């Protein structure tokens, strides 16, 4: 039996791997550039499966428009762009890749921390201008002895916490859904959100984007942070109010920020880009060649399982909270 599989945005998927896996079920693959619900709905009308990235909106209207849809595969971890409850109610399975890029994102988080703390972009620009002056990066604080606060404590934050071992830092975390023993196993102290903000030299965000977390780093949260603190976001751009972040940085109420994800992607001509205290990357924390192949294989194989009437390995529960 032949199946129709619609795929949005192939940048996160390895084409050769995807073809090899989907050919096993004689699948016809249609690649679309659509992101908005109306366009996605038109594309999936006769599709058996839909595989999407973070930017493609799979709303209840999209689910309703799909006559034969059996499964939505999220090429990644977060499913905030998918109406999972609407899909489940319609008998459509939703699968994701819960182990996706854990190694890459935790490493990239470290890279942003070090780039910000050690002022690497500032020194790089200075040297390339023909200068050779250590003081252009003043002040630089020592990582050892600092407190790192993790907002959410799922797989990504856990891996980052494990990598922090050996750096002589204290690690605290806020996650109302994670069992405390999971934090204790890694020497992480569970704390209230307000305590984390007040006590941390570095605040690293790892939460999904939900109604509960959207804009959680607002003017009030930034005001609670230390004036020399560093904010790092490799999770979701919508967690941070960027206007409030800019105000905090320019008023001296925050030391710096490392941002891989943004409120709008691409962010356009943001005033944050004028600040030396901000280090940016283009939502690339997920990427390595190995992670791209693993992602493609995992999500495509789970989609095949559903199409064959088998149980998927990574079903998404509509009640799932933070990851």
| pLDDT for the residue numbered 312 | 96
User: What is the average per-residue pLDDT within 71-100?
Assistant: 93
**Residue in 36, 133, 265, 310 annotated catalytic:** 265
265 tagged catalytic? yes
pLDDT-above-90 percentage for the chain: 81
| pLDDT for the residue numbered 321 | 42
Does residue 266 sit in the same domain as residue 219?
A: yes
Whether the pLDDT of residue 14 is over 90: the answer is: no
Q: What is the CATH number of the domain that holds 14?
A: 3.40.50.720
Give the residue numbers spanning the domain of 106: 102-280
Is there a domain that residue 318 lies in? no
**Residue in 283, 292, 294, 305 annotated catalytic:** 283
Q: What would the pLDDT profile of 116-147 be if each residue is shown by its tens digit? A: 999 999 999 999 999 999 999 999 999 999 99
Whether the pLDDT of residue 322 is over 50: the answer is: no
141 tagged catalytic? no
Does residue 76 sit in the same domain as residue 197?
A: no
Is there a domain that residue 319 lies in? no
Q: What would the pLDDT profile of 17-74 be if each residue is shown by its tens digit? A: 878 888 778 888 888 887 889 999 999 999 999 999 888 999 999 999 998 999 999 9
DSSP 8-state secondary structure symbol assigned to residue 174? E
236 tagged catalytic? yes
Number of domains the chain is built from: 2
Tokens of 28: 């016809």
Does residue 162 sit in the same domain as residue 276?
A: yes
| pLDDT for the residue numbered 16 | 83
| pLDDT for the residue numbered 317 | 84
Q: Compute the CA torsion angle 59, 61, 66, 72 (nearest 10 deg).
A: 10
SS3 annotation, 206-271: CCCCCCCCCCCECHHHHHHCCCCCEEEECCCHHHECHHHHHHHHHCCCCCEEEECCCCCCCCCCCH
Residues with Cβ within 8 Å of 179's Cβ and at least 6 positions away in sequence, in order, are none
Smallest Cα–Cα separation from 161: which of 213, 105, 217?
A: 105
Q: What would the pLDDT profile of 147-190 be if each residue is shown by its tens digit? A: 999 999 999 999 999 999 999 999 999 999 999 899 999 999 99
Does residue 232 sit in the same domain as residue 114?
A: yes
Does residue 123 sit in the same domain as residue 235?
A: yes
């Amino acid at each position: 039996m032949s199946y129709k599989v619609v795929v949005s945005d192939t940048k996160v998927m390895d084409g050769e791997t995807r073809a090899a896996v989907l050919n096993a079920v004689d699948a016809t693959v249609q690649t679309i550039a659509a992101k908005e619900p109306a366009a996605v709905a038109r594309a999936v009308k006769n599709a058996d499966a839909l595989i999407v990235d973070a930017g493609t909106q799979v709303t209840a209207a999209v689910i309703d428009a799909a006559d034969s849809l059996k499964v939505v595969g999220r090429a990644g971890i977060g499913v905030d762009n998918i109406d999972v409850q609407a899909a489940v109610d319609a008998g459509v399975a939703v699968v994701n890749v819960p182990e996706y890029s854990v190694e890459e994102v935790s490493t990239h988080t470290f890279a942003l921390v070090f780039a910000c703390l050690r002022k690497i972009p500032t020194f790089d620009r200075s040297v390339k201008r023909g200068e050779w002056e250590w003081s252009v990066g003043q002040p630089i604080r020592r990582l050892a002895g600092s407190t790192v606060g993790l907002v959410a404590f799922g797989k990504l934050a856990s891996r980052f916490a494990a990598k922090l071992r050996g750096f002589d830092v204290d690690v605290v975390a806020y996650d109302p859904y994670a069992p405390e023993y999971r934090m204790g196993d890694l020497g992480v102290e569970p704390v209230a959100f307000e305590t984390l903000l007040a006590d941390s030299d570095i605040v690293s965000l790892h939460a999904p984007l939900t109604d509960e977390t959207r804009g959680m780093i607002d003017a009030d949260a930034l005001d609670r942070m230390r004036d020399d603190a560093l904010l790092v976001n490799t999770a979701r751009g919508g967690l941070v109010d960027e206007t409030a972040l800019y105000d905090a940085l320019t008023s001296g109420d925050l030391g710096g920020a490392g941002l891989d994800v943004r409120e709008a992607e691409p962010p356009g001509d943001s005033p944050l880009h004028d600040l030396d205290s901000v280090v940016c990357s283009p939502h690339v924390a997920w990427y390595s060649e190995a992670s791209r192949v693993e992602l493609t294989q995992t999500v495509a194989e789970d989609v095949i399982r559903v199409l064959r009437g088998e149980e998927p390995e990574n079903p998404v529960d509509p009640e799932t909270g933070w990851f």
